[in-house]
Chains A and B, each alone.
Chain A
Amino acid sequence: MRYNKIALYGLLCVAAVLILAPVFIMVSTSLKSMDEIRNGSIFTLPVDPGFGAWGKAWFGDCAKTLGEKCGGLSSSFLTSVKIVIPALFLSVGLGAVTGYTLAVWKMKGANIMFAALLVGMFIPPQVTLYPLIIMVRELGIFGSIPGLVLVHVIWGVAFTTMMFRNFFKTVPQDLLKAARIDGAGFWPLFWYVMLPLSLPILGVAMILQFTYIWNDFLLGLTFGGRSGQPMTVALNNLVGSQFGEKEYNVNMAATMLTALPTLAVYLLSGRLFVRGIAAGAVKG
């Protein structure tokens, strides 16, 4: 019995170490100097930890780039924030209203529409990429933040609708009847009764949408152009486009900076993230 317990915790610790090792390598590399990286091993702790690489990753290294921009992540961080906030609220808001309507207001074709949305979540974005480019270009918002917000809402609404619809389906019928008798119409029922009920699911949807939008790469790459580059795209460019010797410490610092917001949300939200990921796992 005791040996079993030891083996159990042993296996769990091995798995935890394997999962954490790359994260550890990322952090420790970002704190090392290039000399130490060249001479040492990826497993060692930094001898003389410093945030020099972080500074370079954030503000850019003007000696290494041509032109007026220094190539740091700071401007793309701002871009990402400007994309995430409106896209987050719009996609979650639209999903909440659509999910509520599909679940509560019995309408012909509601189930067909829900099925169509459900299937839509599995469509690889590559399949509709080009028509979407044309649409966004025709609207005159290609290569801008509003354009990216729009495509994020389009790609997020299926997922948020599914979460809210499945939640609102569990609300007892009697409660809806009581609200109708009290005279609550479409919006009052949503605003005063359903939305307050859905606060936990609202939190889950917010956290997951934040993670998905922040972590997106393909849409940012396609629709961002030069001025609307989100952080993931900037990171990929930074890692792929250095002249001369690659500065791995800067790369890792930039990676760390890109991962930090979602990592922070994950660690702070704890159980909500776990719950959401299981409930909303359908999103790829």
Chain B
Amino acid sequence: MGLAYEFDWSVLWRNPYGMYLVQGIWVTIKMGLIGWAIALFLGVIIGTMRISPWRWLRFLGGAYVELFRNIPFLVQLFFWYYAGPMLFGASLEKSINSIIGLNYYVAIIALGMYTASRVAEHTRAGFSSISRDHYNAALSTGLNHPQMYRYVIIPYALRIIIPTLTTEFLTIFKNSSIAMTIGVLETTFMSYKIDSETFHGLESTTGACLIYLALGLAVVGLMGILESRLKIPGMIGR
């Protein structure tokens, strides 16, 4: 049964392939962290917009979420990378396309904007789980609307949604692998590159799978610590 296939696991550490993977992991981690910072910042703002008392703000927030959630990330990435520079007109297009590492920057921004739409939905769900009394109590102490969100509702909602945000944080590392399609040198791209140089794609992709598993476990561990530190007293633990 099967092709005569000689396994060669040394492609995972042999020179120069081991170094490829190390570089890939570093790029994956950087993309995940910077993308996450963008996603969290934008996502919380948009999620808050969606429950604000102003109608046009709610509409803008809703439109953002629908737009970014209903288009596959791969298509968004291609749009920003190939069509994005064209949107600036012919003269700027050349100078934008000559930026070194453009694919890397585009991938991070696209990843951040895509994940922001998902964070926004989680934030909104967190808000709707807070009872109306909290809003009224905050307003009755003399806080105005922005202060109410800034000091009462957002800190409270963020703590409620930490478990779902953990899942989202894991997803951003997984989604960053799609950046390989525009040539960003992250882990998945590197495992593919090892395949094209050695024809041992099975070993290199298995190695990449193990890397993502380890990354996932690390994130779950870290977020577990964060979750227990920031737990709201009196709530049922998980």
A binds B: no
Give residues in B with beta carbon < 8 Å to A.
Answer: none
Give residues in A with beta carbon < 8 Å to B.
Answer: none
